[in-house]
Amino acid sequence: MKMRRRAALAALWLLLVSASARAQTFGVRAGASADPNQFYAGAHYETEDLADRLRFRPNVEIGVGDDRTLIAFNIEFTYRLSVRPVPMWQFYVGGGPALNIYHATDNTHPEGGFSALAGLSHGPLFTEVKLGALKSPSFKIGVGYSFGR
């Protein structure tokens, strides 16, 4: 009896996990930043809606140029708004804290930061603008693609 119950619970757990995994996406991004002046590329993960149109979208971006390298770990949330009358287009806003690791000649140091963002997506394609505070790049513009949309 206990074995059947465990098997049923395991099967239920697998169904729940696989159903929620379909709504999650991974993607890639690239763009340019100012202060520091760099080109960057990275990857992101996006959850399904946590609440009405609110999603968690952490990402990592690696910037090169301006005599340094920046690895930015961004912990961002996005809120999606519908652009009417065309529901395929999505406007979103968001932001969150960041851990920025700067590396220049024989000197590596972590810095905290924050970014606010606004973007527009059409299916799997998106473009976004970020404004940074503290030790995050002051301005970023980029494009990306989300797999699984």
Per residue in 38-94, pLDDT tens?
Answer: 999 999 999 999 998 899 999 999 999 989 999 999 999 999 987 666 667 889 999
Looking at residue 106, its pLDDT comes to 87
What is the pTM for the complete model shown?
0.77
Domain encompassing residue 107: 25-147
In a domain, 142, yes or no: yes
Is residue 73 packed enough to be buried (19+ CB in 10 Å), middle (13-18) or exposed (0-12)?
A: middle
Q: Find all residues with CB under 8 Å of 149, minimum gap 6, and list them.
A: 25, 123, 124
Please check whether residue 5 lies inside any domain of the structure.
no
What is the tens place of the pLDDT at every residue in 94-132?
999 999 999 998 899 999 999 999 999 998 999 999 999
Residue 14: inside a domain:
no
Asked if the structure places residue 95 within a domain, the reply is yes
CATH code, domain carrying 142: 2.40.160.20
Examine the pLDDT at 7 and tell me if it is beyond 60.
no
Say if 78 falls within a structural domain: yes
Indicate whether 15 belongs to any domain.
Answer: no
Check if the beta carbon of residue 40 is closer than 8 Å to that of residue 142.
yes
Q: Is residue 6 part of a domain?
A: no
Answer yes or no: is 1 within a domain.
Answer: no
* 15 pLDDT more than 80: no
pLDDT grade for 18, boundaries at 50, 70 and 90: very low
The number of folded domains in the chain is: 1
Burial 43-66 (b: 16+ CB within 10 A, else e): ebebbeeeeeeebbbbbebebeeb
